[in-house]
Amino acid sequence: MEIMKPEIISRQTIKPSSPTPDSKKIYKLSLLDLLNAHRIYVPIIFFYQNKEGDNSVDVAHISSGLKKSLSETLTHYYPLAGRIKDGVTVECNDEGAYFSEARIDCHLEGFLKHPEARDDLDLLMPVEIQSNSSEMGSLLLIQINFFSCGGIAIGIRVSHKVSDLHSISAFLNDWATMARKSGEEISAELTPFFPPGDSLSMPEAEPYKGNLIKRRFVFDAVKLGALKAMATQSGVENPTRVEVVAALIYRCAVAASKVSSGSLKPSVLLQSVNLRKRIVPPLPEKSFGNMVWFYRIHTARESEIEFHALVGQLKAGLAHFCDTYGKNFTGQELIRLMFKERAELTHSNDNHHVNKYICTSWCRTSLYQTDFGWGKPIWLRPTGIGSKNIICLIDTREGDGIEAFVTLEEQEMAVFERDEELLQFSSLN
């Protein structure tokens, strides 16, 4: 397939429309920010169709509106226009967000006809030329891609050190609201709940040097219903869509590892949870920063990787998590529990060579509500390969299905993507 290389037509920095007050110039990263995130960016790409039915799109008008509304939105989300200082503080100096524009000489419909076969999706993402370091570079990077048909793709990278997916979703929807000039009020909750991480020094993660492969699997509403029915018939009450998909993918990934290595290794699945909804009393939904933690399930024997057993473990694990973390704890008490969890996980990995899988759910976020005035996105997805053994779950556009983006080592993916049980309930691409 021919690679369509975007032609970059502009690069600039977008600064907040109003200067950040001196009282807000220093934004301290919390302990949870530093526990959760290394020097990585969360990459998302949104695709928008030209609903006018012709190719006449006023690129200059759209570009001007996006930049103006972004500048106004950054006034409320001022840490995103700052720079990280000393690894634990954001200096809110209004240096701004990186913003690039590109043209692509092809139609969006053709571009997305076989999205998984494309090697050029990352070319739609912003790349800051001046610095590859999150210690010096922009914390928010954006690229607007204009297709010849009038379709648009918006590629976004946001530093994981300052925000999680829920913060990013809130920011994007507020930016879109400002771009639509709807008159709606926007605001961000930047008051930290967790204590600052002044004294915490976290080692940066070493990039994985093996050959990783990412694949996309789609679970439609009918297949999700069948998976939930299987779990229910085996005694699991009210399994969720995320629980059944996470259980099936984890089961098939462990099976693929067994085939590749020749033996069943002890494994652990870390399932992410949005703390905003789980803490009592709950935090504001638009609380800014990293407010996601995880609970884990372990497997070491064949009986533990049965589908219904895994769904049951996930459900019980969430209930225990809510009982442990959802009580009326202070931020300091929560951090103490999290340090204990992290130490236990590190100890088990070091001593027993445990295979670690991470499942992060983007389901039930407002990402598909991100309407800049051209309608909601027709598709969105994470880009890049990232780390190994990563499972990212996203709602389908209709909201009743799930797209799963799975990253495994090449040898294990060759087994995983042919798993008959997995393909019984999902379609590859």
- What is the C-alpha end-to-end distance of the chain, expressed in Å? 16
CB atoms within 10 A of CB 100: 21
What does the pLDDT read at residue 206?
63
Which numeric CATH code is attached to 8-180?
3.30.559.10
Whole-angstrom Cα distance, residue 411 to residue 31?
37
What does the pLDDT read at residue 178?
96
* Average of per-residue pLDDT values in the chain: 88
Taking the mean position of all CA atoms in its chain, how far away is CA 132?
20
Domain 212-428 has CATH 3.30.559.10: yes
Q: Using one digit for the tens of pLDDT, what is the confidence trace for 114-139? A: 766 566 788 899 986 444 444 458 99
Q: Are 310 and 247 in contact (CB under 8 A)?
A: yes
Q: Using one digit for the tens of pLDDT, what is the confidence trace for 61-76? A: 999 999 999 999 999 9
What does the pLDDT read at residue 120?
72
Q: Determine which one of 76, 160, 166, 419 is catalytic.
A: 160
Q: Are 359 and 269 in contact (CB under 8 A)?
A: yes
Question: Which of 30-44, 127-141, 232-246 is predicted least confidently?
Answer: 127-141
pTM of the model: 0.92
Residues of the chain with CATH 3.30.559.10: 8-180, 212-428
Range 282-306 average pLDDT: 92
Q: Determine which one of 120, 122, 220, 371 is catalytic.
A: 371
Tell me whether residue 160 is one of the annotated catalytic residues: yes
What does the pLDDT read at residue 265?
93
Q: Are 161 and 134 in contact (CB under 8 A)?
A: yes
**Host H or E run for residue 74:** helix 59-74
